[in-house]
A and B are shown apart, each in its own frame.
Chain A
Amino acid sequence: MAALNDWQNRLEETALGPVRRTGRRFWAVVAILLAIIGWGLYAYSVQLRDGLVVTGMRDRISWGLYIATFVFFIGISHAGTLISAILRVSNARWRTPVTRMAEFVTVVALICGASFVVIDLGRPDRVLNVFIYGRWQSPIIWDVLAITTYLTASVTYLFVPMIPDLALFRDRLAGRSSRWRGSLYRTLAIGWHGRPAQWRSLTSAIGVLMILIIPIAVSVHTVVSWIFAMTMRVPWDSALFGAFFVAGAIFSGIAILIIVMAILRRTYHLEEYVTEKHFVYLGYLMAAFAAIMIYANISELLVHGYKLQEGVEFHFRQLFLAEFAPLFWFYLLGGLCAPIVIALVPATRNVRGIVAAAILVTLAMWIERYFIVVTGLRVPLMPYEPASYAPTWVEWSLLAAGLAAFALLITLFTKLFPIIAVWEVAEDHEASAVQAGTGIPARAIPATADSPRLAEEAGR
Chain B
Amino acid sequence: MKSITRRSVTTVTRLLAPWAILVAFAGSAIASHVDVSVATVGEVTVGETVAIPVALHTMDGSPLAGTVVTFYLHMSFAGVEGEAEIGRAVTDEDGVASLAYRPRLAGHHELRMEYLAAGRSDIESTTTVIEVTGGAQLYHSPAGVDVPGVGVELLMVVLATVWSILFWVVLRIVAIARAGGEVREAALGARR
Asked whether, in the complex, the Cβ of B82 is within 8 Å of the Cβ of A383, the reply is: yes
Give a binary string over A142-174; 1 marks a CB under 8 Å from any B CB, 0 the rest: 100100010011001001100100000000000
Q: Does A331 contact B (CB under 8 A)?
A: no
When A198-B180, A205-B172, A209-B169 are in contact, do A149 and B162 touch as well, CB less than 8 Å?
yes
Interface centre among A160, A191, A454 (most CB of B within 10 A): A191
Asked whether, in the complex, the Cβ of B191 is within 8 Å of the Cβ of A382, the reply is: no
A142 to chain B, nearest CB (A): 8
Give the nearest-CB partner of B158 in chain A: A219
B134 to chain A, nearest CB (A): 24
Asked whether, in the complex, the Cβ of A460 is within 8 Å of the Cβ of B191, the reply is: yes
Residues of B close to A460: CB separation below 8 A: 190-191
Q: Does A212 contact B (CB under 8 A)?
A: yes
When A149-B159, A156-B169, A382-B82 are in contact, do A457 and B176 touch as well, CB less than 8 Å?
no
Which residues 191-207 of A have a CB within 8 angstroms of B? Answer: 191-193, 195, 197-198, 201-202, 204-205
Overall SS of chain B's interface: helix
Q: Does B80 contact A (CB under 8 A)?
A: yes
Residues of A close to B168: CB separation below 8 A: 208
Interface centre among B165, B172, B177, B188 (most CB of A within 10 A): B172
The answer, among A191, A201, A212, for a CB contact under 8 Å with B165, is A212
Residues of A close to B82: CB separation below 8 A: 382-384
Q: Does B31 contact A (CB under 8 A)?
A: no
Inter-chain CA distance A142–B172, complex, in Å, is: 28
Asked whether, in the complex, the Cβ of B181 is within 8 Å of the Cβ of A153, the reply is: no
Q: Does A190 contact B (CB under 8 A)?
A: yes
Inter-chain CA distance A193–B75, complex, in Å, is: 75
The answer, among B75, B78, B173, B177, for a CB contact under 8 Å with A160, is B173
B94 to chain A, nearest CB (A): 33
Which residues 427-460 of A have a CB within 8 angstroms of B? Answer: 454, 457-458, 460
Q: Does B179 contact A (CB under 8 A)?
A: yes
Asked whether, in the complex, the Cβ of A201 is within 8 Å of the Cβ of B176, the reply is: yes
Asked whether, in the complex, the Cβ of B155 is within 8 Å of the Cβ of A205, the reply is: no
Inter-chain CA distance A191–B180, complex, in Å, is: 4
Inter-chain CA distance A212–B169, complex, in Å, is: 11
When A137-B152, A208-B168, A208-B169 are in contact, do A193 and B162 touch as well, CB less than 8 Å?
no
Asked whether, in the complex, the Cβ of B166 is within 8 Å of the Cβ of A59, the reply is: no
> Interface residue count for A (Cβ, 8 Å)?
35
Q: Does B77 contact A (CB under 8 A)?
A: yes
Inter-chain CA distance A317–B39, complex, in Å, is: 43
Residues of A close to B188: CB separation below 8 A: 457
Asked whether, in the complex, the Cβ of B176 is within 8 Å of the Cβ of A192, the reply is: yes
Asked whether, in the complex, the Cβ of A136 is within 8 Å of the Cβ of B179, the reply is: no
Give the nearest-CB partner of B79 in chain A: A59
Q: Does B20 contact A (CB under 8 A)?
A: no
Asked whether, in the complex, the Cβ of B83 is within 8 Å of the Cβ of A191, the reply is: no
Give the nearest-CB partner of A142 in chain B: B155
Q: Does B163 contact A (CB under 8 A)?
A: yes
The answer, among A136, A149, A160, A190, for a CB contact under 8 Å with B180, is A190
> Interface residue count for B (Cβ, 8 Å)?
31
Asked whether, in the complex, the Cβ of A195 is within 8 Å of the Cβ of B183, the reply is: yes
Which residues 29-67 of A have a CB within 8 angstroms of B? Answer: 59
The answer, among B84, B159, B162, B173, for a CB contact under 8 Å with A383, is B84
Q: Does B33 contact A (CB under 8 A)?
A: no
Which residues 63-102 of B have a CB within 8 angstroms of A? Answer: 75, 77-78, 80, 82-84
Inter-chain CA distance A384–B191, complex, in Å, is: 84
Residues of B close to A208: CB separation below 8 A: 165, 168-169, 172
Q: Does B7 contact A (CB under 8 A)?
A: no
The answer, among A136, A160, A192, for a CB contact under 8 Å with B155, is A136
Inter-chain CA distance A458–B183, complex, in Å, is: 10
Q: Does B184 contact A (CB under 8 A)?
A: yes
Residues of A close to B183: CB separation below 8 A: 191, 193, 195, 454
Residues of A close to B184: CB separation below 8 A: 191, 193, 454
Give the nearest-CB partner of A135 in chain B: B152
Inter-chain CA distance A325–B179, complex, in Å, is: 61
Inter-chain CA distance A152–B164, complex, in Å, is: 13
Asked whether, in the complex, the Cβ of A457 is within 8 Å of the Cβ of B179, the reply is: no
Inter-chain CA distance A192–B169, complex, in Å, is: 16
Q: Does A216 contact B (CB under 8 A)?
A: yes
Give the nearest-CB partner of A191 in chain B: B180
Q: Does B147 contact A (CB under 8 A)?
A: no
Asked whether, in the complex, the Cβ of B187 is within 8 Å of the Cβ of A204, the reply is: no
When A149-B159, A192-B180, A458-B187 are in contact, do A197 and B175 touch as well, CB less than 8 Å?
yes
The answer, among A149, A192, A202, A454, for a CB contact under 8 Å with B172, is A202
Which residues 38-55 of B have a CB within 8 angstroms of A? Answer: none
Asked whether, in the complex, the Cβ of A457 is within 8 Å of the Cβ of B187, the reply is: yes
A404 to chain B, nearest CB (A): 31
Asked whether, in the complex, the Cβ of A457 is within 8 Å of the Cβ of B166, the reply is: no
B122 to chain A, nearest CB (A): 23
A151 to chain B, nearest CB (A): 11
Give the nearest-CB partner of A204 in chain B: B172
When A160-B169, A209-B169, A216-B162 are in contact, do A454 and B187 touch as well, CB less than 8 Å?
yes
Give the nearest-CB partner of B188 in chain A: A457
Give a binary string over A274-312; 1 marks a CB under 8 Å from any B CB, 0 the rest: 000000000000000000000000000000000000000
Asked whether, in the complex, the Cβ of B191 is within 8 Å of the Cβ of A191, the reply is: no
Residues of B within 8 A of A (CB): 75, 77-78, 80, 82-84, 152, 155, 159, 162-163, 165-166, 168-170, 172-173, 175-177, 179-181, 183-184, 187-188, 190-191
Assuming A192-B176, A458-B190, what are 9 further A-B pairs, CB within 8 angstroms?
A149-B162, A160-B173, A191-B177, A191-B181, A193-B180, A198-B176, A198-B180, A204-B172, A208-B169
Residues of A within 8 A of B (CB): 59, 136-137, 142, 145, 149, 152-153, 156, 159-160, 163, 189-193, 195, 197-198, 201-202, 204-205, 208-209, 212, 216, 382-384, 454, 457-458, 460
By Cβ-Cβ distance, the 3 closest A-B pairs, closest first, are A191-B180, A205-B172, A190-B177
